Each structure stands twice: as structure tokens, then as C-alpha cells.
A and B are shown apart, each in its own frame.
Chain A
Amino acid sequence: EAQVTQNPRYLITVTGKKLTVTCSQNMNHEYMSWYRQDPGLGLRQIYYSMNVEVTDKGDVPEGYKVSRKEKRNFPLILESPSPNQTSLYFCASRPMLVGAGELFFGEGSRLTVL
């Protein structure tokens, strides 16, 4: 089954404790992206990657890191989480078609930073 898998789905952590949210897709998509969703703000892009070893900042990259060492994986790293990073996070992927194709989303990871 074609899918984007995120882990963990739910996490409660404390300020300053490094954490990684993993994202993996099995569709051989070149493009991957991370979004965060907050009430009243919709979905905002954190980082994206067009292919292995190619990453770039989205609209709200502060406090986050990413890496793309393999095509299928795109982890989101919070080196020192803070309460304002409490949010619902989505990983997404899509193929690099001519024109903009739809994004395939993971199920979301709800993160709470105390």
C-alpha cells in the first residue's frame, strides 16, 4: 500500500529534550515536505526537500532541522524543543511531475512540549 508513515503519532516531551519525528514514504517520490498545523493558522511549511541531500527552508523553519540521506526518509529534528513548537506535524511527499502534483500526507504527529 502506498503510504507516508510518521512516527511517533503522539509525543509529550519537555523543553530542551532533543527529539526526532521520522517520516518514510514507499512511493519513490523525490519531493518531501514537513508542515505544522496550528489552530487559526492552517498548514505552514517548515522544510522541504527536492531530492537526496537537497533541502530548503519553508515559511517557519526556526527551531527545526531536517536531513535527506535516503530518498524514502525525511526526519524532522527538534534540537531543543520549546512550548511554541507544540503542534500537529504532517509529513508529505509527491513525485516530481511536470506541473504540480498532489501531496500525499502522513497521518500526522501530535507533539506537546511542556
Chain B
Amino acid sequence: AQKVTQAQTEISVVEKEDVTLDCVYETRDTTYYLFWYKQPPSGELVFLIRRNSFDEQNEISGRYSWNFQKSTSSFNFTITASQVVDSAVYFCALSRDSGYSTLTFGKGTMLLVSP
């Protein structure tokens, strides 16, 4: 069975602080995909990143970066110089390496960035 754990239920930071959202996953598959989604207060789910298990390189996109560590089964997400607009619930998700597979989501981390 697949499982995603986001141990941080809620994080509060002040604007311009860096913040890291943790994601730990469990799977018996040797190949799989990991995802992050953002859910702002308006409620929609916004895709942020997709990473396959073959690629352990870290990725940076503007103020966002992702650290994939296969050895610790973690796929952590860091926001540098946080902004109020980053306030949202962030979900980490896991999928088998198949077009037929479903996404298993973590319970989410609510990030509150104060001015």
C-alpha cells in the first residue's frame, strides 16, 4: 500500500522567511511519481511539480525548490522569501509509475504567511 505523510499540520511564518514543508512517503514500488499541489483560500487545486523516482536532482522554480531524497523517502518543498500570497494548503501526493495509477495524497500542510 502507498502512503504519504505530511507531519506538519499547520505552519505560520512572517513574510520573507524561508519555510520547508515536509513530505515522507511509503511505497513498495521501485519506480513511482511524486507531486505537490497548492490549494489557495479560493479552493482550487493547483499543480506545482511532478517528479519521477529516477530523477533525484533537486529542482528550483523561482522561489520554490524541491529536495527529493530517495534514501529517506522524502520529497520536501521549500519556499524562499515567503510572501502573503503563498498562504495556502499544500498537498504532497504519490503515484505508481503507470498511466492507470491513482494519486494518493497526504493530509496537507496549511501555510500561513503574515505580513
To the question of whether A and B form a pair in one complex, the answer is yes
List the A residue with the shortest CB-CB distance to B49: A102
Q: Is A88 an interface residue (CB 8 A)?
A: yes
Residues of A in contact (CB 8 Å), total: 28
Whether, in the assembled complex, A31 has its beta carbon less than 8 Å from a beta carbon of chain B, the answer is: yes
Determine whether the beta carbon of A100 is less than 8 Å from that of B91: no
Closest beta carbon of chain B to A42's beta carbon, Å = 4
CA distance A78 to B32 in the complex (A): 33
Whether B47 pairs with A42 at a CB distance below 8 angstroms is no
Q: B98 to A99, Cβ gap below 8 A? A: yes
Residue tally, chain B, CB below 8 Å to A: 27
Query: Which residues of chain B come closer than 8 Å to A96, judged between CB atoms?
Result: 99-100
Q: Are B96 and A88 in contact, with the CB atoms below 8 A?
A: no
Question: Which one, A14-22, A43-51, A66-74, is touching chain B?
Answer: A43-51
> A74 to chain B: closest CB distance in Å?
14
Q: What residues on B are CB-neighbors of A30 within 8 Å? A: 99
A45 lies within 8 A of B102 (CB) = yes
Q: Which residue of A lies closest to B101 (CB)?
A: A100
Q: In the assembled complex, which residues on chain B have CB atoms less than 8 Å from the CB atom of A102? A: 35, 47, 50
B86 interface hit (Cβ, 8 Å): no
Complex CA distance for A103 and B96, rounded to whole angstroms: 13
The verdict on B103 contacting chain A, using a C-beta distance below 8 Å, is yes
CB distance from A28 to the nearest CB of B (A): 14
**How far does the Cβ of A49 sit from chain B's closest Cβ, in whole Å?**
11
In the bound complex, what is the Cα–Cα distance between A30 and B101 (angstroms)? 12
5 pairs from A and B in contact (CB 8 Å cutoff): A43-B93, A95-B99, A97-B99, A100-B50, A101-B50
